[in-house]
A and B are shown apart, each in its own frame.
Chain A
Amino acid sequence: MRFSVTAVSEPNQLADLFARLSGLVFSEQTVRSSLQITVNLMHEVLPATQGAGVTLIREGKKLTAAHTDEVVKRVDALQYELDEGPCLSAFKDGSPYRIDSMEMEDRWPRWAPEARGMGMRSAISVPLTVPDDRRLGAVKAYSEQLAAFDEQDVRILQMFAAQAAIVLANVLSHSDAAGMSERLKSALRTRQEIAVAMGILMERDKVGEDQAFTLLRGSAHRNNVKLHRVASDLVSEVANPTPR
C-alpha cells in the first residue's frame, strides 16, 4: 500500500517546521542558507561525495531543505513518494544507514533500483537530531562510485548532522529579515569545520569535548596560528590522507 506524502510547498511551512524548536520563528531563507553551508562543506570534506543533502521531516511532512545538486532532490523526492529509503529509515530508527552497492541493496526494494538508475551507486544517511533528542530529519551523501564511504565517513557525517542541528537551534537571533549576513555565513562555515575537527579528536584520542578543544587551542598557540587553521588542516588530513 502506498501512503500519500504531503510535500512542504509553501514558504511558511518550513518556518512552522521549526517554530517550536527555540520558541522563535525562522525565516525559510535562514534555515535553507545555514543548511546549505553544511551540505557544501560536507561535499568538500568527504571526497567521494557526488552530492549531499538534508531532509527535514515533521508531522509526516518531508522536505529536502538543502542539496548540492538536482539528483539529490530527485532521489529524495522518490523516497518521499514511495515512503521508502535510507533517509526515512535513518529518521525513523535513529540509526545511520550505509549503502555500499545500490545494485545489491535489498532493504529498500522499490527505491534502490530507481536510485541506481539515476546514477547513485553508494550512499550514507544519518539522522538529524537536536540536543534534546528530537529528530528533525536526516543528512545524506551519495556517490557514483561503489563502496565510496567507510565507517569513518559515517561518523564524519554524524558530526555534520550534529552541527547542523545546533546551528538550526541558534541561528535565528543573528539573521536579519533578508537572510543571513556574509559574516554569519562565514562564521557558520568556520564553526562547522572546527566542530568536525573536535569530533575527529574525540574519536581518535578517546577524549571528551573539553580536552579536544584544549588540544586544538594548545596546538594553535604553539604554532602561532588561529585555531580554525589547526582544525581545517586536521580535517583535510583525515579526509585526504597523505600516502606514506
Chain B
Amino acid sequence: MAGNTDAMVLESGRRNSGLTVDELWLRYFELTGEASLLELEAYLQGALIPDPLQFDMIAHALNERFMELGHDHPIPYREEAG
C-alpha cells in the first residue's frame, strides 16, 4: 500500500521505539486517544488518516517512550506547542 506521510512517520517511529502496536494503543488510550486498536493499525498502515489531535496523541505516546529510552521528542507534532 502506498504510504502517506503520517503513516510513515508514526510507523517508523513505532518500530524505532520498540513498542508493539498493542502497547502503543494502550499508551495512546491513556492519553485520551479515541481510535480503537483496529483504527490505530489502519493509521499506521496508511489506510486511515488521523485528525491532528489523534495524530498528536499517537506522536506523544511514542515520544514519551523515547524519553524513557533517554532520547528527546523525535516525532514532530501537528499542533505547535505553546
Contacts and interface: CB of A to CB of B under 8 A. Distances in A.
Contacts of A187: 26, 29-30
Contact of B30 (A214, A218, A228): A228
B16 to A, nearest CB: 19
Interface in B3-35: 26, 29-32, 34
A227 B30 CA distance: 10
Given A209-B53, A213-B57, A173 B29 contact: no
Contacts of A184: 26
Contacts of B37: 173-174
B56 A213 contact: yes
A190 B81 contact: no
> How many A residues touch the partner, as a band?
20 to 34
A219 to B, nearest CB: 9
A107 B79 CA distance: 47
A210 interface: yes
Interface string B33-54: 0101110000000000000110
A191 B32 contact: yes
Interface string B52-71: 11001100100010010000
Interface in A123-137: none
A221 B81 contact: yes
A5 interface: no
B34 A166 contact: yes
B81 A191 contact: no
A224 B68 CA distance: 11
Nearest to A189: B30
Nearest to B23: A183
Interface in A92-130: none
Q: Which DSSP category, helix, strand, loop or mixed, fits chain B's interface?
A: helix
**Interface hub of A170, A183, A184 (most chain B Cβ within 10 A):** A170
A166 B32 CA distance: 9
Contact of A170 (B31, B36, B52, B57): B36
Contact of B26 (A183, A214, A215): A183
B26 A194 contact: no
Contacts of A195: 32
A118 B76 CA distance: 55
A226 to B, nearest CB: 6
A172 to B, nearest CB: 10
A218 B19 CA distance: 23
A195 B34 CA distance: 11
A228 B34 CA distance: 17
Which are the 3 A-B pairs with shortest beta-carbon distances? A218-B81, A190-B30, A210-B53
Given A213-B31, A214-B56, A227-B60, 18 more contacts: A170-B29, A173-B38, A174-B26, A174-B37, A187-B26, A191-B30, A191-B31, A191-B32, A194-B30, A210-B52, A213-B32, A213-B56, A213-B57, A214-B82, A217-B56, A221-B81, A226-B64, A228-B30
11 contacts: A173-B36, A191-B29, A194-B30, A194-B31, A210-B53, A213-B53, A214-B79, A214-B80, A217-B56, A226-B64, A227-B64
